[in-house]
Structures are given as structure tokens and as C-alpha cells.
Structure 1
Amino acid sequence: MNMNQSRSATEPHGHSMQSAKKATVARHQGARLNYERYLAQARTQALIGNQIEAENFYQHAEHYFRSFNQNENSRKLIA
């Protein structure tokens, strides 16, 4: 930040609410993509009969599903 710039009281550390929304959207999209990727891998492993690997991928998918839902709730609070 140079001498001609000032921070607003509503923008802690120089970050705006808009940048917070963008960061939340990015986390939301990343979690959703990872969820879909792990779910697809789990289904593939289940189809070929590898139940142990399928369960591993399902557990990873569940983690990202929870992250996805948590981020969805955060987005609703910010909006």
C-alpha cells in the first residue's frame, strides 16, 4: 500500500468483501470438483470389483462433500 492509499474501516487488512466472496466461491468450486473426481474414481473401482479402493475414494469424496456443503453455507451467510 502506498502513501496515497488508505484502508477503509470496513475492509480489514485491505481486503474487500468482494475478494472474500471470490475466495469463498473458489473454495466452493474446488471442493465440488474434488468431490466429483473422487466419486467418479470410487464408482470406477466399484465397477471393476476393487471394493477397498472404492471405499477409499468414497471416503475422500465424502470429505469434499462436507467441505462443499460447509462452503455453500458460508456463501449464503456472506451474500
Structure 2
Amino acid sequence: MDMIASERRGVAVEPRLNIKMPRNPQMRKAKHARNSVGTSSSRNAQRHYERYLALARAEALKGDRIAAENYFQHADHYLRLMRDDGAAASSGGRS
């Protein structure tokens, strides 16, 4: 066993490829351009806000105040995102 361990020490480990990162720089730019569209993120924020608000109300009706507060905090996060997106859109660009 010691012989195998000592042999492994001398072998250089190849770095792992980052699969998530596209190698083509043009693909990176295109992906960034798609992600910077404000309407899509606003719609997603609106959907998440409504979802967490409904979950919070359901938990409150069941009497679980801790879970309800957790969901209300999540809903508040998405409300702030929508407010920030609205302010950025009215000022003419994202900050």
C-alpha cells in the first residue's frame, strides 16, 4: 500500500474543467445578454413573490407562525427585487 501511495504523489493532478463555463467567449456574451433582460426577471420575481405570499398565508391559517414568517420574509425579498427593477426601469437602465 505504501508503494502505491508514494507513486501517486509523483503524478501531477490535471485540473478539472469548469463545465458550467462556456469556452466560446461569444456564447458567454450571448448568455449575459439574455440574463440582463429586465422583463424576464421581473416576471420571475412577481411569480415567486405571489408563491411565497400564498405559502405564508396558508401557514398562518394553519397556525404555524414560524413557517409563515419565513415565507413572508422570502416574499419580502422578491418584493424588494421588483421594486429595484421598477426603479431601474424608470431611470433608464439597470444599476
Aligned residues: 62
Provide structure 1 residue ranges, at least 5 long, that are not aligned to the other structure: 1-12
- 2:83 is equivalent to residue 76 of structure 1: no
TM-score for both structures, normalised by structure 1: 0.69
Does the CA contact (< 8 Å) of 1:45 and 1:51 recur in 2? yes
**Paired residue for 1:23?**
37
| 2:80 alignment partner AA | R
Q: Cα offset for 1:30?
A: 0.7
Q: What RMSD over aligned residues (CA atoms) do the two structures have, in Å?
A: 2.2
Which has more radius of gyration? 2
Name 2:11's counterpart in structure 1: none
> Which 4+ stretches in 1 moved above 3 angstroms?
none
Q: State the distance in 1 between where 2:50 and 2:42 align.
A: 12
Higher relative contact order (CA closer than 8 Å, sequence separation 6+): 1
Gaps of 5+ in 2: 1-28
* TM-score (norm. length: structure 2): 0.58
State the identity %: 35
